[in-house]
Amino acid sequence: MIIFVLLGIISSIFQLVILREFSFSIAKNELAFILGAGFWVISCSLGSIARLPRKLQDPPLPLIACLSFIISIYLIHLAKLLNGMQYYEAASLKLVLLSSIALIGPTAFITGYIFKYLTLAYLNKNTAQRNTFAKFFAFEALGFFLGGLIFSLYFNNYSNPLIFSILPLLLIAGIKGIFRKTIISFFIIAATLISLRTFSPILQKEFGNSDILLNAGSGYGPIVIARKAYSTMIFSEGSLLATSEDKAAVEEAIHTGLAGINLSGEKDILFIGPALSQEINEIMKYNPGSLDSLHINPLISILSEYTTPYDIRRRVNFITDDPVLYLKETKKKYDAILAISPPPSSLSLNRYFTEDFYRLIKTKLKPAGIFSFSMPSKREILSPQFAKFNSSIINALDKVFNYRLIIPSDTMIIVASPDKEINDYDLIENFIKVNPATDFFTIYHFKDNLKPSAREYIQNRLDAKIPANTNLTPSGFLNYLILEQIKFYPDLKINQGKTGKNIIAALFIFWLLIIAFSFLSKRIYYLLNIGAVGFISIAMTAVIFVLFQAYCGALYWKLGLLIAFFMAGLSTGILIISSKQIYRPKLLSVIFLCWGIAIIALLLSLKKLGEVRYADIIFYSFSLLCGFLSGGVYPVVAQGLLESRMKEKKITTAIYAADLTGAFLGTLACGTLLIPFLGVTGSLISLLILSLTLCARNLWA
Boundary-marking domain end, from 419, 449, 466: 466
The answer to whether residue 290 scores a pLDDT higher than 90 is yes
The answer to whether residue 335 scores a pLDDT higher than 70 is yes
Identify whether residues 82 and 20 lie together within a single domain: yes
Q: Is residue 132 part of a domain?
A: yes
Q: Is residue 531 part of a domain?
A: yes
Q: How far apart are CA 539 and CA 469, in angstroms?
A: 22
Q: Is residue 489 part of a domain?
A: no
Give tens-digit pLDDT for 561-607. Answer: 898 899 888 888 888 887 766 656 678 899 999 999 999 999 998 88
Q: What is the mean pLDDT of the chain?
A: 88
* Partner residues linked to 242 by β-bridges: 234
Q: What pLDDT, on the 0 to 100 scale, is given for residue 580?
A: 65
Identify whether residues 458 and 533 lie together within a single domain: no
Angle made by CA atoms 412, 416, 420, in degrees to the nearest 5? 150
Secondary structure element (H or E) that encloses residue 650, with its range: helix 648-669
The answer to whether residue 312 scores a pLDDT higher than 90 is no
Secondary structure element (H or E) that encloses residue 284, with its range: helix 279-284
Identify whether residues 174 and 218 lie together within a single domain: no
Q: What pLDDT, on the 0 to 100 scale, is given for residue 611?
A: 72
Q: Is residue 482 part of a domain?
A: no
* Partner residues linked to 403 by β-bridges: 417
How far from 43 is each of 161, 255, 269, 523, 638, CA to CA, in Å?
Answer: 21, 52, 51, 23, 22
The answer to whether residue 268 scores a pLDDT higher than 70 is yes
Give tens-digit pLDDT for 440-477. Answer: 999 999 999 999 988 999 999 999 999 999 999 999 99
- pLDDT category at 57 given cuts 50, 70, 90 is low
Q: How far apart are CA 334 and CA 371, in angstroms?
A: 10
The answer to whether residue 306 scores a pLDDT higher than 80 is no
Contacts of 618 (CB under 8 A, 6+ apart): 605, 609, 612
The residue segments making up the domain with residue 532 are 2-203+495-700
Phi, psi values for residue 25, rounded to 5° = -90, -30
Identify whether residues 409 and 432 lie together within a single domain: yes
- Assign 225 to helix, strand or coil: strand
Give tens-digit pLDDT for 638-660. Answer: 888 887 777 776 777 788 788 88
Q: How far apart are CA 15 and CA 395, in angstroms?
A: 39
| Percent above pLDDT 90 for the chain | 42
Q: What pLDDT, on the 0 to 100 scale, is given for residue 551?
A: 87
Q: How far apart are CA 63 and CA 192, in angstroms?
A: 10
Identify whether residues 143 and 173 lie together within a single domain: yes
Q: What pLDDT, on the 0 to 100 scale, is given for residue 462?
A: 94
Identify whether residues 71 and 135 lie together within a single domain: yes
Identify whether residues 575 and 630 lie together within a single domain: yes
Q: Is residue 499 part of a domain?
A: yes
Identify whether residues 346 and 235 lie together within a single domain: no
Overall average pLDDT of the 602-622 stretch = 85
Q: Is residue 427 part of a domain?
A: yes
Question: How far is it between the farthest Cα atoms of the chain?
Answer: 87
The answer to whether residue 610 scores a pLDDT higher than 90 is no
- Assign 601 to helix, strand or coil: helix
Q: Is residue 56 part of a domain?
A: yes
How far from 397 is each of 54, 416, 634, CA to CA, in Å?
Answer: 65, 8, 48
pTM score over 0.75: yes
Identify whether residues 216 and 287 lie together within a single domain: no
Phi, psi values for residue 477, rounded to 5° = -60, -50
The answer to whether residue 673 scores a pLDDT higher than 70 is yes
- CATH for 510: 1.20.1250
Q: How far apart are CA 65 and CA 146, in angstroms?
A: 19
The answer to whether residue 9 scores a pLDDT higher than 80 is yes
Overall average pLDDT of the 398-416 stretch = 93
Identify whether residues 275 and 374 lie together within a single domain: yes
Identify whether residues 167 and 81 lie together within a single domain: yes
* Residue closest to 685 by CA, chosen among 588, 596, 593: 596
Count how many domains the chain has. 3
Identify whether residues 298 and 218 lie together within a single domain: no
Q: What pLDDT, on the 0 to 100 scale, is given for residue 133?
A: 59
Contact predicate 29/481, CB 8 Å: yes
Overall average pLDDT of the 359-385 stretch = 92
- CATH for 256: 3.40.50.150
Contacts of 168 (CB under 8 A, 6+ apart): 10, 61, 62, 63, 65, 66, 69, 188
* Partner residues linked to 417 by β-bridges: 403
Q: Is residue 490 part of a domain?
A: no
- pLDDT category at 334 given cuts 50, 70, 90 is very high
